[in-house]
A and B are shown apart, each in its own frame.
Chain A
């Protein structure tokens, strides 16, 4: 009997030693663990050097993982806003009105050969607003609600912070760029152009 127990003891000691060694190796702390374990909220208002954003912003109608946030507004950049100053109940009768006012709009948005039309996004009656496919009236400053119905992945990333960007500060109250701050809604893809500078060879 004892002959059998001896090797068993030996093996169990070995197992213990190895598991201890493995445990030590595994618990060798990486800073990634520190990062993962730091779930205490960081007070983003504690950095006193942060100044208020001077651009016009509006409280977003959705939340991100840290609560409410603000987005840059859009309306002040729309040249002919308010649209209802021309688009009234009556139909517009001026000659060449469309070419003269909206002739610069080139729509290059949507799949090839299947470009979007005006009222795919603009409200057909209330011209001061946009309209989504569920016929909800959407404000120009909250266009993410409209864009997100097709570009839902981008919207999800934008809410979280992997798409788009914050304005000026990494901390403080969160203010982010609106979809239309970067993208021309009529032609959202960036045009090809020369880089801003060049680099010299490495060595």
Chain B
């Protein structure tokens, strides 16, 4: 197909989408689509007929045909951001801001975790849940803190579900989350190229291209990824309004999600929510390419190690001791 032909097809599709259609004709079209892919309908990928207004249905329909985030022009990004914001306005009567900030030049994010200082208060976890609009019903958490026996460095030997007064004497605490591997196995496992590493080192997911197959979850050696079995249930007054397309925006049902180093914050120079919330200063975040940064100081002057270093995933997440 020549590029001109492609363009005309795209134009036609656009026309079809933009002509105002009655509910009846819309459902008719939908049933045709359903016949073509009833399996897809069952997984909830195609906009459901239960959607409220005609405008909402139209937007959902247009959303269905958008490109992978990496192939979008700025115009297309702006359009989808407008639609996403409008959908939330229509559906939840809320005003949100979805950003599409680009990576900052000469920046590679790195993270260090002080296992001597962490006392297991888990304030990072609550801050993360709040910031990233995680599902309160299933208690989804991107971060997990393990209570560890001295001498052990493998979190699978630790207790990840403790709830008692901390710190317990002669125990130490070790946090895990997505390590944003430079050589990430999850991105290679994805059959739809819905997950990749951004130039600033953040491994992200395009929630609208994720088909929820969970290959990436199986590929991740660190249990860094989470699968949602439904749309996140978040109390309206707790929703973080400042969002990012690749970050904490509303994820559709049946998608893979994970820590994004709070991409909506870090690309504006802010610290991730976990770092900001940590009461003990165990979490260090910064630019690996800046020789004066805190993270570089830690790598240069402290005893550091990475989890499962030998498997060659090159995580950008170091543990260190004082």
Contact = CB atoms under 8 A, between A and B. Distances in A.
Interface stretch (B84-92, B114-122, B208-216): B114-122
Given A49-B268, A168-B271, A177-B281, A196 B126 contact: yes
A168 B279 contact: no
A46 to B, nearest CB: 8
Given A30-B314, A38-B289, A161 B298 contact: yes
Contacts of B110: 35
A114 interface: no
A52 to B, nearest CB: 12
Given A65-B292, A164-B281, A196-B125, A171 B119 contact: no
A199 B279 contact: no
A193 interface: yes
A193 B121 contact: yes
B314 A168 contact: no
Contacts of A31: 108, 182, 314, 316
Contacts of B166: 192-195
B82 interface: no
B194 interface: no
A199 to B, nearest CB: 5
A44 B105 CA distance: 11
B122 A202 contact: no
Which residue of B125, B269, B295 has the most chain A CB atoms within 10 A of its CB atom? B269
B294 A162 contact: yes
Interface string B269-296: 1110001101111011111111111111
The binding surface of chain A is classed by DSSP as loop
A32 B306 CA distance: 12
B106 interface: yes
Contacts of B104: 46-47
A5 to B, nearest CB: 43
Contacts, number: 158
Size class of the contact patch on chain B: 35 or more
Nearest to A51: B269
A162 B298 CA distance: 6
Interface string B170-183: 00000000000010
Contact of B278 (A50, A165, A194): A165
A202 B138 CA distance: 12
A110 B138 CA distance: 45
B132 to A, nearest CB: 14
Interface stretch (B38-46, B67-75, B139-147, B185-193): B139-147
Given A169-B270, A169-B271, A195 B163 contact: yes
A172 B35 CA distance: 55
Given A34-B289, A165-B281, 4 more contacts: A35-B110, A35-B289, A42-B107, A162-B298
6 contacts: A42-B287, A162-B297, A162-B322, A193-B121, A193-B165, A194-B164
* Closest A-B pairs by Cβ, 3 of them: A161-B294, A66-B292, A42-B290
Interface of B: 104, 106-108, 110, 112, 114, 117, 119-123, 125-126, 129, 138-139, 141, 144-145, 160-167, 182, 223, 266-271, 275-276, 278-281, 283-299, 301-302, 314, 316, 320, 322
Interface of A: 30-32, 34-35, 38-42, 44, 46-47, 49-50, 64-67, 153, 157, 160-166, 168-172, 177, 182, 190, 192-202
